[in-house]
Amino acid sequence: MRSWSSASVGLLLMLLAVPSLAQQGDLDGGQSSTEPRRANPNSYEAIPVGPFLFSPALQLNWQYRDNIFFTPDNPISDQVWMARAKLQFELPINESYLLFSYTPQYRDYKDYELDDKWSHFFDFLGGFEFSNGLLLDMTYKYMEGNLENREVDPGGELYWGDRWYKKNFAALSLSYWASAKDGLNFEIDYTDLKHEDPDLWYDYTRLVAGAGWLHQLSEILVMNLAYRHTEFKPSENLLFDNEFRESTSDEITVGFRGMVNPVIKTEIVVGYRKTSYNVPGVLSEVIPDFTGFIARGYFNWDMGHGSSLRLDLLRSDYPSNFGINANYVATGASLQYQYEHNRFRAQIRGRYQVNDYSVPDLLTGEDRQDPIKTAGLGLGYRFGPYISLWGGYLLEHRDSTIDRFSYDYSVYTLGLVVGY
């Protein structure tokens, strides 16, 4: 376990849980992961190109969406075609590595005309292990797109947008194991987001810095007791100067990663977080700070015979884009069952999440709460080591207390993946 820092272990577990572009596609009807993936000599192939391992892939995707604008009434349906390529180069250096990945994506609706049909994803990762117990991980990500809203808002407040944005993300993580049982880790990351039309939303920067104590609970499980500080600075837009959305956050968490036992894998973090906003005293009761319990992560149970069950948990505050809400609080859980046998794969998943807002809606004066229910089914078949066919159905229902934010949405997906 000590051969990985906290950042690299977290990345590895995340990639194991999310289907890669070449291997599976996305069975639930959304879009496939663009995250790069390290080569595994036991289960993952690549093309040697000099000192590099080259992993190309191509995905072709068709979707039928019955409510492309996520409206509460008079939904408009459309078909969507998408083509995506992934070009990944990895340079192994003993226990260390460098990795570069570029993913261009083309998306076109049959009837609706997107302002920009191209999205681009660049990733550069580096991991270095030294003989003295020092571990260094570096990450740089750049993306440019218009409908990849999870890149902008991981809590799921935004569900439609046709104005491109650019996101730069850089992170550095340093870990040092002073003994076989105990170590320290330090991390810092920076995000810069810019919209094509900041009058509609707003640009922002985010700086996160933290430190933690690592403790080896067993050969397969590591505990991390950590402190993290965040500074969030939004820019003004057409309606607001957004100074009230400027915030600082402090959190203390305890995390566990690795194997709880031989069949249950986890990457879970729980703790306490306080977010303070730049609000004048007279408005502090209208736009309150956030203090409370937070959680993020999952448990994955390997049930044997190709079956697995995964539970994801989430509770945190996120910056809001609506009204004079400085934030919203997302609380949710999802359950996913997956079955694999030879070349066949099936997946069933369900999710329930509630987004809570502390400031009443400006137009109606009503309190806003968005319960979101999602259910999905996916089937996939691998014809050989480099060709997979997959399809899925996804149903989502957002039952907001403010009617204009409610919608029903379903999507059928069929995709072909060729490559490594």
Place of tokens 């104590």: 213
- Model pLDDT for residues 349-390, shown as the tens digit of each residue: 999 999 999 998 888 889 999 999 999 999 999 998 889 999
Between 72 and 29, the higher pLDDT residue? 72
Torsion of CA 365, 355, 162, 168, to 10 degrees: 120
Q: What confidence category does residue 94 fall into, taking pLDDT thresholds of 50, 70 and 90?
A: confident
List the one residue out of 69, 111, 63 whose CA is nearest residue 412: 63
Q: One-letter amino acid identity for 367? A: D
What's the token pair of residue 9? 């272990």
Kindly tell me if the per-residue pLDDT of 51 is higher than 80: yes
Ramachandran sector of residue 76 (left: φ over 0; alpha: ψ -120 to 50; beta: rest): beta
Domains and CATH numbers, the chain: 6-419 (2.40.160)
Judged by average pLDDT, the poorest of 17-21, 130-134, 166-170 is 17-21
- pLDDT score, position 40: 53
Q: What confidence category does residue 139 fall into, taking pLDDT thresholds of 50, 70 and 90?
A: very high
Distance from C-alpha of 348 to C-alpha of 344, rounded to nearest angstrom: 14
Q: What is the pTM of this model?
A: 0.86
Beta bridge partners of 155: none
Residues ≥6 apart with Cβ < 8 Å to 132: none
- Model pLDDT for residues 62-75, shown as the tens digit of each residue: 999 999 999 999 99
**Regarding beta strands 221-234 and 204-218, do their DSSP bridges make them parallel or antiparallel, or are they unpaired?**
antiparallel
Q: What confidence category does residue 4 fall into, taking pLDDT thresholds of 50, 70 and 90?
A: very low
Which 3 state secondary structure label does DSSP give 72? Answer: coil
Kindly tell me if the per-residue pLDDT of 17 is higher than 70: no
List the one residue out of 126, 117, 87 whose CA is nearest residue 103: 87
Kindly tell me if the per-residue pLDDT of 7 is higher than 70: no
